[in-house]
Copies of this chain bind each other. A is one copy, B any other.
Amino acid sequence: MAALRSDAARSRARIIDIARTHDRATLRLNEVAREAGVGVGTVYRHFPTVHALVEALSVDTLDAMLATSRRAAAVPDPGEGLALYLRSALTLQLEDGGLQAVLLSPEDEAEAVRTVKREIFETFASLLEAARAAGAIRADLTVGHLAHLVCGIEHAVRLGSPDDLPLLLQVMLDGLKPQPLATYTG
């Protein structure tokens, strides 16, 4: 990203500040422009699509997610490491309402986002591999399954209250373990 002219940097920051006060799912670029005191054209030049703005709002959270995944990789017990990462990812996704969309989007506006996402997924994959090797997790689960499950639990928590997080997370974590006994498969 080339250095921005000072006025452009100011506009961009104002837009992001205002956008942060809005629900990510119902962002209206024209409304953000009005509240930020800039022209609509300015918003659309900085962020050609709503997704571009949502992405920009999530870069900090993405960095936090990467940091967490690396911290999790340093945990001696692979099962605990994976669990720590899953818990953190879920918490971050619940805090940042746009993160799920950014993580799942196949296209990224910003090159930096693409890079961080790749690094997160790579770390995530090695966490899973280690946990599997340690027999801490069902062998038939892929990184995709886990990512989708986290998004699913996020969805479930959003349908209820944040207070449900610990319980629903625990249900997921328990379900991920290799099951000792045959389970009903009707």
Contact = CB atoms under 8 A, between A and B. Distances in A.
Nearest to A147: B159
A33 B154 CA distance: 36
Which of A152, A170, A184: most chain B CB closer than 10 A?
A152
State which size class the interface on A falls in. 35 or more
Contacts of A183: 170, 173-174
Chain A contact residues, majority secondary structure:
helix
B87 A186 contact: yes
B155 A151 contact: yes
B159 A171 contact: no
A102 interface: no
Number of this chain's copies in the assembly equals 2
A164 to B, nearest CB: 6
A156 interface: yes
Interface in A122-165: 138, 140-141, 144-145, 147-149, 151-157, 159-160, 164
Interface of A: 79-80, 83-84, 87, 104, 138, 140-141, 144-145, 147-149, 151-157, 159-160, 164, 167-168, 170-177, 179-180, 183-186
Given A79-B184, A145-B160, 10 more contacts: A80-B186, A144-B160, A148-B155, A148-B160, A152-B152, A152-B154, A170-B175, A174-B175, A174-B179, A180-B180
17 contacts: A80-B186, A83-B186, A141-B171, A145-B156, A147-B159, A148-B155, A148-B156, A148-B157, A148-B159, A148-B160, A155-B155, A170-B185, A171-B172, A171-B175, A171-B176, A173-B175, A175-B176
